[in-house]
Structures are given as structure tokens and as C-alpha cells.
Amino acid sequence: MQLFKTPDGKPVYTIGGSTIARYYWCSPQAWLSASGIQAPQSEALSTGTKIHADIEEARKLSPQEEEFQHFLSQFLTEDKRGKNIGRPWLDGKTKLVDDIGWIATHGLDDFKIDNQRRVTNIEYKSKKGWRVDPVSLMPALFQTKVYMYIYEPYLILGGWYWKESWVVWLKRTRDGFEPIGETRVDDYDSAETQRKIADIFDEWNRASEAKTNAERRRILIPPKKFKCRICPEVYKTSCPFQQ
């Protein structure tokens, strides 16, 4: 079963967890990105890739963490975007004979495992300034929950359990990165996360089926003005709130 349809009627079968989480930054931009409109690689994305690579190179895993990483590696797939791990989207209506949609990610930024096989997910977010504002906090927190949702079946299969997630905030400096704070996420609920994802797909599908931009403006959540000012031009040209 497709996740939702694009404005031109094409079914979307795979979507990145970070794209879903972008809904809490800007629903129209996330909808357009999920529909196939992509902006040039941003500084934030390049920074995130570098942080992930630096961690992989510098981090010494414990025996338990090496076991966990090795276990997950057998479920990785590869496409033009690189290595991915995904969870099938089963909404109670999907039949095994249907094409099944997938929610995927390139991997966890970092993780820790205790002696009770409880896993802590760690997500790194870089900032230009020293302050973490609510508009950055909401998508980051939801992104950790989407990642926990993606990995949950694999943890259960291997005998691991989620403990919590942390968002670690980093300030970009001339010399690299400096920690400026941490946010703990200990209220993950699988069913609630799935429900929120389903609501997002429903909103995007209704926006795609709408015949006019006026209808889409009544369906999608309007973005804040300052977000429109910094939005990539490729999204502005298709955004119903810019028409």
C-alpha cells in the first residue's frame, strides 16, 4: 500500500524518517519534499553527514554495541541514496499481496547499550546560534521518535529494548562543534507515533487530491512567515501558500 499520492497522482512507497519529521518544521515543504521535489544539499545536511562520519571513525564500541551494530547490518539495503534501513508501513488495511510502503533512514547518529540490552538513541543537531528555540525542538523530538519506530521491530527481533532518546545540540564554530545542550526523550509510544505518522500521510494525500491551491491552503498547516523567507526557491515555486 502506498504511503500517499503526489499531486500528479503517483504513489509514494518510500519516505525518509527525517522528511516525515520535517512536517513539524513546515508541513507544505515536507509534503513537497516527500512528493519528489528536492532542494540542493543544505549546509545543515552536509554538517550532519560529517558529524555521523566523525562519530563512526572516532567511537570505540563496547562488545554489546558491536553485537548490536553487526545485527542491524544484515537488514541494510542500498539504493542511489546510500545504505538504508526501513520499516514496512502496515496500517491494518494492507494485504500481503499489496505493494508495501516503507519508512526508512540512513542510520542512527549514535547509540548506547547498557547491560540490560536497553538501547539509547542519540541524535545530533547543529545550530548556528547558542539558543535552541521551540521551532527547532519539535521536529527534532519527533524525528527521534520516528527513528525509534523504524528500528523497533529489529530491536524486538534481536532481544533489545528502547530505553530513551537524546537530542544533543551542537554549536557550529570555526574549530568544529561545541555542545550547547541536551534534550531527553523518554515518552516514546509506538502506537501514538504510528497514529501521528498516519495523520501526516492523510493530510498530504488530501492536499495532493485537492484541485486548487485554495483547497490545499485549508488542508495544510500554514508556515510561519520567517520560514518562508529562508525556504529554498524550489519549494516556493510549488508551495500553495506562495501562489
DSSP string, 67-123: HHHHHHHTT-EEETTEEEEEEE---SS--TTSPPPEEEES--SEEEE-TT-EEEEEE
Highest mean pLDDT, choosing among 71-80, 121-130, 144-153, 168-177: 144-153
pLDDT at 90 over 50: yes
Instruction: Determine phi and psi for 88, rounding to 5 degrees.
Output: -65, 145
pLDDT at 92 over 60: no
Give residues with Cβ within 8 angstroms of 73, minimum separation 6: none
Query: For 7, what's the count of Cα atoms within 13 Å in the CB-facing half-sphere?
Result: 17
- DSSP-assigned beta bridge partners for residue 78: 83
State the CB neighbour count (10 A cutoff) for residue 121.
22
pLDDT at 217 over 80: yes
Q: What is the pLDDT of residue 38?
A: 87
Structural domains of the chain sorted by starting position, each given as residue range(s) with its CATH number in brackets: 4-242 (3.90.320.10)
Instruction: Determine phi and psi for 215, rounding to 5 degrees.
Output: -65, -40
Q: pLDDT tens, 107-150? A: 899 999 999 999 999 999 988 878 888 888 999 999 999 999 99
Q: pLDDT tens, 5-58? A: 999 999 999 999 999 999 999 999 999 999 999 887 655 555 555 665 565 566
| Chain center to CA of 234 | 20
Per the prediction, the chain carries an average pLDDT of 88
What is the Cα–Cα distance from 211 to 222, expressed in whole angstroms? 18
139 three-class SS: helix
**Residue whose C-alpha cell is 545540540:** 169
Q: What is the pLDDT of residue 22?
A: 96
**Residue whose C-alpha cell is 512536517:** 23
What is the Cα–Cα distance from 15 to 163, expressed in whole angstroms? 25
